[in-house]
């Protein structure tokens, strides 16, 4: 009988793409494996997962706002409905194991699976464990993590240090330099800066870039700028105002292997997926952590690299005044770029998807479930 697995979570690309990488690895082990994704209605996984070729079911779950809002009053009702639907999905699909990658939907699904005796695995992507995973860890059989020291949050005997899975094409980015230059229309003789604020964009990064576009043009720097959908029209207007072919703005970049391939330096938020990709491709990076991330986990992710001289950090508060200058300085400092590249590669976990898939399969073996 082919194995059947549910993978649950989402909300951001940082949850979705590792989930897809795990699914792809499980399918590569046995093409007969059946995989069902469970996400949150209205979230980006409902579009990104089918694009990757997998079926997904949505739960009506929502998050709790930190401030008092009327939407919080609906949370208990939506949680109850989500638990009932999760139980129905599990009854109908009959998974051999359930995998949670973080995000709203992973809570109801993994809790329902655990209560039915189905073995569960949690993938914690950040250096500071999220609330949902800390709660679910009580029932989880395995907890795959990306950073050492996670026994501060989870039982040590359940932890496996695997790293975060990334899209498989990212691992071959260095082979895509010429293809990337052609794809983005770049000149090989000019330095290139890649700016990525996550799948939804980052207002601080966008406004910092918008104010500094002329400085990049004057310095002869090519910029590949992922803005997110909400800022793209404003970005296009800013690019038109400087009237230079050196600046290219995109709402979303699907060909990230090509983008990393041509980048001499990267400006990025410090989400778990972005950090893992930067480690794998070994690009010198300036990290600008999102200060409102839960438990300030993006700063903790960034500091794990900064403390080892593997990345630079600029706070969100200072980005509008410091980021453009810091990026230009880095592009003009080849020895520093080489040192950052060398150190960040030491954090890479290229076999993360393979190792997590193996842990999932171990849960379905005799006596291990």
Report the chain's terminal Cα–Cα distance, integer Å. Answer: 17
Alpha-carbon distance 364 to 366, whole Å? 7
Nearest to 364 by CA among 109, 97, 160, 158: 97
Alpha-carbon distance 296 to 301, whole Å? 9
Three-state DSSP class for 321?
Answer: helix
Is 13 one of the annotated binding-site residues?
A: yes
Distances in whole angstroms, Cα of residue 183 to Cα of each of 1, 177, 257, 283: 44, 10, 11, 19
Is 272 one of the annotated binding-site residues?
A: yes
- CB within 8 Å of 208: residues ≥ 6 apart: 319, 320, 323, 324
Nearest to 356 by CA among 105, 101, 131: 101
- CB within 8 Å of 212: residues ≥ 6 apart: 323, 324
Is 199 one of the annotated binding-site residues?
A: yes
Is 167 one of the annotated binding-site residues?
A: yes
Is 263 one of the annotated binding-site residues?
A: no
Three-state DSSP class for 131?
Answer: helix
Q: Please report which residue ranges of 187-318 form alpha helices under DSSP H.
A: 203-218, 232-242, 256-262, 272-281, 297-306
Which residues, listed in sequence order, are joined to residue 223 by a DSSP beta bridge? 193, 247
Is 12 one of the annotated binding-site residues?
A: yes
Is 45 one of the annotated binding-site residues?
A: no
Is 126 one of the annotated binding-site residues?
A: yes
Is 253 one of the annotated binding-site residues?
A: yes
- Tokens encoding 348: 């890479």
Task: For residue 113, give the H/E element and its range.
Answer: helix 106-115
For residues 63, 65, 68, 73, the Cα torsion angle rounded to the nearest 10 degrees is -10
Q: What is the DSSP string of 126-168?
A: SSS--HHHHHHTTT-SEEEESSTTGGGTS-GGGEEE------G
Is 274 one of the annotated binding-site residues?
A: yes
Distances in whole angstroms, Cα of residue 310 to Cα of each of 52, 132, 297, 338: 32, 30, 18, 10
Side-chain-side CA neighbours of 187 within 13 Å: the count stands at 9
Nearest to 25 by CA among 7, 47, 50, 11: 7
Is 79 one of the annotated binding-site residues?
A: no
- The binding site for UDP-N-acetyl-alpha-D-glucosamine comprises 12-14, 126, 167, 199, 253, 272-277, 298
- The binding site comprises 12-14, 126, 167, 199, 253, 272-277, 298
């Amino acid at each position: 009988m082919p194995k059947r697995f549910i993978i649950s979570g989402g909300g951001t690309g940082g949850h979705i793409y590792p989930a897809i990488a795990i699914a792809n690895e499980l399918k590569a082990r046995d093409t007969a494996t059946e995989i069902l994704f469970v996400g949150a209605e209205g979230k980006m996984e409902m579009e990104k997962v089918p694009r990757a070729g997998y079926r997904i079911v949505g739960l009506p779950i929502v998050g709790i706002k930190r401030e008092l809002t009327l939407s919080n009053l609906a949370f208990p009702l939506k949680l109850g409905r989500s638990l009932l639907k999760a139980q129905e999905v599990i009854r109908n699909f009959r998974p051999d194991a359930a995998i949670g990658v973080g995000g709203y939907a992973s809570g109801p699904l993994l809790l329902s699976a655990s209560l039915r005796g189905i073995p569960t695995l949690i993938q914690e992507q950040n250096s500071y464990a999220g609330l949902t995973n800390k709660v679910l860890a009580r029932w989880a059989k395995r907890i795959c993590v990306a950073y050492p020291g996670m026994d501060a949050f989870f039982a040590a005997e359940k932890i496996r240090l695997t790293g975060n899975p990334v899209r498989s094409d990212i691992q071959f980015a260095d082979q895509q330099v010429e293809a990337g230059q052609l794809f983005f229309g770049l000149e090989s003789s000019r330095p290139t800066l890649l700016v990525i604020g996550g799948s939804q964009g980052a207002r601080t990064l966008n406004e910092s870039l918008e104010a500094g576009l002329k400085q990049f043009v004057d310095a002869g720097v090519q910029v590949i700028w992922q803005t997110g959908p909400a800022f793209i029209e404003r970005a296009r207007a800013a690019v038109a105002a400087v009237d230079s072919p050196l600046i290219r703005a995109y709402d979303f970049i699907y060909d990230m292997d090509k983008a990393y391939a041509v980048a001499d330096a990267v400006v990025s938020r410090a989400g778990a997926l972005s950090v893992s990709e930067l480690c794998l491709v070994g690009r010198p990076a300036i990290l600008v952590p999102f200060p409102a991330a839960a438990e300030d986990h993006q700063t903790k992710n960034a500091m794990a690299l900064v403390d080892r001289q593997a990345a630079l950090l600029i706070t969100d508060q200072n980005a509008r005044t410091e980021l453009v200058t810091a990026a230009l300085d880095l592009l003009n400092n080849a020895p520093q770029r080489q040192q950052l590249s060398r150190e960040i590669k030491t954090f890479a976990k290229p076999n993360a998807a393979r190792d997590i898939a193996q842990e999932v399969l171990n849960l379905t073996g005799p006596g291990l479930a």
